[in-house]
Chains A and B, each alone.
Chain A
């Protein structure tokens, strides 16, 4: 059988070229894989969900109650054998995918792996992270319960707050002034078709470029065998490790999904006139926090009657500027030669400290999401955010410089540069 296929498809050549690809062994290298496992799980559980979901917000009779069709179909899914578990696994996997992708990005960031020749893959990775978050957000609206309608309402508002183009963009995505009868079919199409296709295409490109350019080698590889590529082959060693990790991943998310039902639609209830108590998922909490503490009278007028308002600053401008900084990073922090080894974070105190400061910024702005619960004032929160971020940078920089500042040179690819 193998020979028959090999004669027609030259499998041996393919195996030799791709299945023997060397994978460096380092615990931090599994984050990207976990992201992909989460994506595969999302696609598989998503297929189950699409088979049973009804993308419409029209009112129907279900079990003697008048409910939006989408909401009723979620109740139906939850009533199927393992339906609620699979829906929960879909939800938690989205959380894992975003978390793993973000940690993967942090790993690339602190090891300087975005530098030449891997700038393109850094940009693709940023696009994947952004698209994952957007895809997760479009998933929010589909259950059409009180929570998801309010959350999507806010998304519509953030889009509409963009000067000049906002209303058009938001109406395009959400099918008119959300919620309309066009909203769910449109967001559904984006969530189950176009965004996943785009994600698959980008993941494919991300992988192909990674195989073509090879992994950055962990710093130890330079000491063990300078100039050589160290790692285990794709098949069988890495393949088995991936298989074990995937099973482990499934075990964990199914345990969580089986124990905690995600997004309990019955608890939120069908959409109501008044706003339910909502807080976004953790990965939106920082934007939610910033939105709350930007004063409304902050306004920058633009020509033709438009202006930059507080909601645009919090919802679009701050995340946008962070994104632009990330896009520019590999073109500002450059090197002349091709990078082959990961840089040690301790040898790049500024970059490492900026990374820690970024984490501090995201955590303190997330704290602002609890403004009301903790009774903080805007001034207190701004102080915590600004002082927290700067102090983290300073402390991290001083610690790194005083502990590792005098370490001997000649690590992390610096031999090659010299």
Chain B
């Protein structure tokens, strides 16, 4: 769970409302002094620990030669491909499965109701134990997955972290495992917000199964789906924990994503400026996503 999801999920409608409530009678004298004193602690935190690090980071990564160095390095190109795959596959597979599963959890069977609290366990679990467990499950022939493969099917499983694609796939699967429940719950809430009459009307018109999904649920949940996907993309681009613990970048940094490559450059390679440049090179992708997200949130606002 990250706060970015929550704040942005509530939408800039909320921002607009804040703005609207703000033309005020000007305050004066001691009241104004108190108000400034109340805002001052947070303003100080914001300047010292948000604005200053951003400015410092941009200043560290200001030298164009850093970017030339990055582009010349094959490791960087590989990392960009990994990041694109990790984010593209991870986010989209996760969101699509979450959308389908949210429909599954709408069914009124007792065992499906009982399943929901079990299903959200990965979301409740802190990331570190979860990913440590994934790492250990896939550690090799002593790992749980390969043990099961040999016990059930009698075959020797692969060495997951010796192959770039298997390791990358492991990262993606672990990531989906950890975050799918959260988005399933979000879509579940979105589905419960659809008035029951709409489902009934669709049923009367004979829409069920696939047609109900395509013609009723998708149009109604489409914007929510778009907003959630953009949010999740934004946030997954900055994901450090999954790759750093599941595959640890193995084999030999070939599964690093930008967030982990930056830290490797800065702390193992002692090239902090290069590390910052590596992560800042994602800004041309991040900023359009933020703009798209704001747009999507605004259409939602006007629709309602």
Report whether chain A binds chain B.
no
Residues of A bordering B, CB below 8 Å: none
Residues of B bordering A, CB below 8 Å: none
